[in-house]
């Protein structure tokens, strides 16, 4: 996929309701940074930004993995059989920022 296509995809993702559940003013600096990292690296699989694309991973929220920060960090770092780990892509502080952001995302209705 070309760089321009990726930029367009991220622009759509950033403007979708899944990304705008709270205004940025309600997020602290770490949470905003985590949101940016999530949009960049996680959103392609964990959101249905275009409402037509397949959702490859579960929708993530504060309730994911039982809401346990340490488990979230572990899964983001080391991955699962269906998800790559990001410990070589993100620094520990960046993974912490993603977890901090996810802790602000309300659980989807069942």
Residue 57 domain-assigned? Answer: yes
Please state the domain count of the chain: 1
- pLDDT above 90: percentage of residues in the chain: 59
Helices 92-102, 29-37: axis angle to 10 degrees equals 100
pLDDT tens for 49-103 read 656 666 788 999 999 999 999 999 999 999 999 999 999 999 999 999 999 999 9
Residue 66 domain-assigned? Answer: yes
Residue 54: give the domain boundaries.
3-102
**What is the pLDDT confidence band of residue 104, given thresholds at 50, 70 and 90?**
very high
Residue 35 domain-assigned? Answer: yes
- Give the global pTM: 0.74
Residue 110 domain-assigned? Answer: no
Residue 58 domain-assigned? Answer: yes
Measured in whole angstroms, the distance separating CA 82 from the mean position of its chain's CA atoms is: 16
CATH value at residue 24: 1.10.760
Residue 109 domain-assigned? Answer: no
List helix spans (H) across 1-110: 3-15, 29-37, 43-46, 69-78, 92-102
CA distance 35 to 20: 10
- What does the pLDDT average to over 22-49? 87
Residue 23 domain-assigned? Answer: yes
Place of tokens 């995302």: 105
Residue 107 domain-assigned? Answer: no
């Amino acid at each position: 996929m070309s760089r321009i296509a990726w930029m367009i995809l991220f622009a759509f993702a950033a403007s979708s309701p899944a990304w705008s559940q709270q205004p940025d003013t309600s997020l602290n600096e770490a949470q905003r940074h985590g949101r940016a990292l999530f949009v960049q690296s996680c959103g392609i699989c964990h959101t249905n930004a275009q409402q037509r694309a397949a959702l490859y991973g579960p929708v993530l929220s504060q309730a994911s993995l039982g809401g346990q920060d340490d488990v979230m960090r572990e899964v983001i770092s080391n991955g699962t059989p269906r998800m790559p780990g990001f410990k070589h892509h993100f620094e520990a502080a960046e993974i912490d920022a993603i977890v901090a952001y996810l802790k602000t995302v309300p659980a989807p209705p069942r």
